[in-house]
Amino acid sequence: MIKTIKVRLKPTVEQEKLFWKASGTARFIYNWALDRQLVNYKNGGKFISDNELRKEITQLKKLELTWLNEISNNVPKQAVKDLCLAYKRFFKKQAKQPKFKKKNRCKPSFYNDCCKLKVKENSILIEKIGWIEVAEHGRIPLDTNYNNPRITHDNKYWYISVGIEIESEYQELTNKTLGIDLGIKDLAIINTGEKHKNINKTSIVKKIKKKLKRLQRKVSHKYEKNKTKMKGGEVRYNKTKNIMKTEKKIKLIHRRLTNIRLNNIHQITTSLVKTKPQSIVIEDLNINGMMKNRHLSKAIQEQCLYTFTNILDYKTKFYGIKLVKADRFYPSSKTCSKCGNIKKDLKLSDRIYKCECGFSIDRDINAAINLAKLA
Exposure of 300 in the CB half-sphere (CA atoms within 13 A): 14
pLDDT at 190: 94
Q: How far is CA 222 from CA 229, 230, 240, 241, in A?
A: 16, 19, 9, 11
Strands 130-134 and 123-126: antiparallel
Determine the pLDDT at residue 340. Answer: 86
**Amino acid 358: pLDDT:** 84
Q: What is the CA radius of gyration of the chain?
A: 25
Among candidates 288, 271, 280, which has minimal Cα distance to 326? 280
Q: How far is residue 185's CA from residue 263's CA, in Å, rounded to a whole number?
A: 19
**Residue 99 vs residues 27, 33, 72, 270: alpha-carbon distances, Å:** 11, 11, 25, 35
Type of residue found at 211: K
The reported pLDDT for the residue numbered 372 is: 93
DSSP string for residues in 21-76: HHHHHHHHHHHHHHHHHHHHHHTT--PPPHHHHHHHHHHHHHHT-GGGGGS-THHH
Closest CA to 205 of 257, 267, 259, 258: 257
Q: Which residues of 205-220 are buried (b: 16+ CB within 10 A; e: fewer)?
A: beebeeebeebeeebe
Cα–Cα distance measured from residue 88 to residue 237, given in angstroms and rounded to the nearest whole number: 38
Residue 339's Cβ-count burial label (10 Å; 0-12, 13-18, 19+) is: exposed
Contact (CB, 8 A) for 168 and 270: no
- Output the pTM of the full model: 0.89
**CB 273 within 8 Å of CB 172:** no
Query: Would you state the pLDDT for residue 348?
Result: 82
* Per-residue pLDDT tens digits for 218-261: 999 999 999 888 877 788 888 899 999 999 999 999 999 999 99
| Residue ranges covered by each domain of the chain | 2-165, 177-326
What digits encode the pLDDT tens for the residues 143-153?
899 999 999 99
Instruction: End-to-end CA distance of the chain: give it in Å, rounded.
Output: 24
**CB proximity list for 143: less than 8 A, separation 6 or greater:** none
Report how far apart, in Å, the C-alpha atoms of 276 and of each of 72, 73, 119, 192, 217 are. 46, 46, 35, 14, 48
Ordered per-residue pLDDT tens for the chain, 375 residues: 888 999 999 999 999 999 999 999 999 999 999 999 999 989 988 899 999 999 999 998 888 888 888 899 999 999 999 999 999 999 998 888 999 999 888 999 999 999 999 999 999 999 999 999 999 999 999 989 999 999 999 999 999 999 999 887 777 889 999 999 999 999 999 999 999 999 999 999 999 999 999 999 999 999 999 988 887 778 888 889 999 999 999 999 999 999 999 999 999 999 999 999 999 999 998 888 888 988 889 999 999 999 999 999 999 999 899 999 998 889 998 899 888 888 888 888 888 888 888 888 999 999 999 999 998
Of 122, 111, 117, 153, give the one whose Cα is nearest residue 22: 111
In the three-class reduction of DSSP (H, G, I as helix; E, B as strand; rest coil), residue 155 is classed as coil
Residue 54, phi-psi category: left (phi > 0), alpha (psi -120 to 50), beta (remainder): alpha
* Cα 56 from chain centre: 32
Query: What pLDDT sits at residue 326?
Result: 93
Helix (H) or strand (E) holding 163: strand 158-165
Please state, in angstroms and as integers, the Cα–Cα distance from residue 212 to each residue in 50, 60, 250, 253, 255, following that order: 41, 43, 6, 7, 11
